[in-house]
């Protein structure tokens, strides 16, 4: 009995040693996707720091097309929207923030996107829309830092 167990173990060891994994080869998707999603996001972050909106847009689209399930996609959309807001491209900013609000309800960037969306409306001198978004933010995320900021912003909107 023990001879057959030993024989079976020997076959398994030989089969394992014969495989490519025994020689240190690791299965890799680098040939399929030469740039990983993390590398694309790193490029995007550098472009964001340089305030290069065109490159941020390009890197965001690469993330969306090559890595549709990437954890970085929501962050990329948020950064693109925020840079659009900084550059005065309000329609594009609203589009990105609205996408995070409606199409990605579980996104870690959703609260920040809601607040940024409200501030975009405020910059456009649309206090009713800003107040509506801030109200949703307070309702959906009570106690969060963004909710506390929303409380202050709503007071400021009413003063004017």
Encode pLDDT of 107-154 as tens digits: 999 999 999 999 999 999 999 999 999 999 999 999 999 999 999 999
Task: Note whether residue 60 is domain-resident.
Answer: yes
Given a cut of 90, whether residue 5 has pLDDT beyond it is no
Task: Note whether residue 44 is domain-resident.
Answer: yes
CA atoms of 112 and 100, how far apart (whole Å): 9
Higher-scoring residue by pLDDT: 36, 23: 36
Task: Note whether residue 13 is domain-resident.
Answer: no
Given a cut of 70, whether residue 52 has pLDDT beyond it is yes
* Average pLDDT over the chain, rounded to an integer: 84
Given a cut of 80, whether residue 20 has pLDDT beyond it is no
Q: Name the residue range of residue 122's domain.
A: 36-159
Return the pLDDT at 159. Answer: 62
Return the pLDDT at 141. Answer: 95
The enclosing domain of 147 has a CATH number of 1.25.40.10
If you average pLDDT over residues 86-106, what whole number do you get?
95
Given a cut of 60, whether residue 41 has pLDDT beyond it is yes
Task: Give me the number of domains the chain comprises.
Answer: 1
Tokens (6 digits) for 117:
């969306």
Task: Note whether residue 22 is domain-resident.
Answer: no
Task: Note whether residue 138 is domain-resident.
Answer: yes
If you average pLDDT over residues 16-45, what whole number do you get?
62
Per-residue pLDDT band at 68 (split at 50, 70, 90): confident
Q: Which residues contact 32 (CB under 8 A, 6 or more apart)?
A: none
Given a cut of 80, whether residue 103 has pLDDT beyond it is yes
Report residue 127 CA to chain centroid gap.
28
Look at residue 136 and give its three-state secondary structure.
helix
Per-residue pLDDT band at 11 (split at 50, 70, 90): very low
pTM: 0.75
Task: Note whether residue 4 is domain-resident.
Answer: no
Contact 118, 157 (CB under 8 A): no
Task: Note whether residue 132 is domain-resident.
Answer: yes
Task: Note whether residue 124 is domain-resident.
Answer: yes
């Amino acid at each position: 009995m023990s001879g057959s167990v030993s024989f079976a173990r020997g076959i398994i060891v030989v089969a394992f040693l014969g495989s490519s994994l025994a020689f240190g080869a690791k299965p890799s998707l680098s040939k399929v996707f030469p740039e990983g999603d993390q590398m694309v996001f790193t490029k995007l972050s550098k472009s964001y720091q340089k305030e290069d909106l065109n490159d941020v847009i390009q890197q965001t689209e690469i993330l969306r097309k090559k890595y549709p399930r990437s954890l970085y996609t929501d962050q990329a959309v948020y950064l693109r929207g925020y840079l659009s807001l900084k550059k005065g491209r309000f329609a594009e900013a609203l589009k990105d923030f609205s996408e995070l609000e409606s199409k990605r309800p579980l996104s870690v960037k959703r609260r920040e996107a809601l607040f940024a969306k409200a501030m975009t409306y405020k910059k456009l001198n649309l206090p009713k829309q800003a107040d509506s978004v801030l109200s949703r933010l307070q309702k959906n995320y009570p106690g969060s830092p963004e909710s506390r900021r929303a409380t202050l912003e709503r007071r400021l909107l009413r003063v004017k």
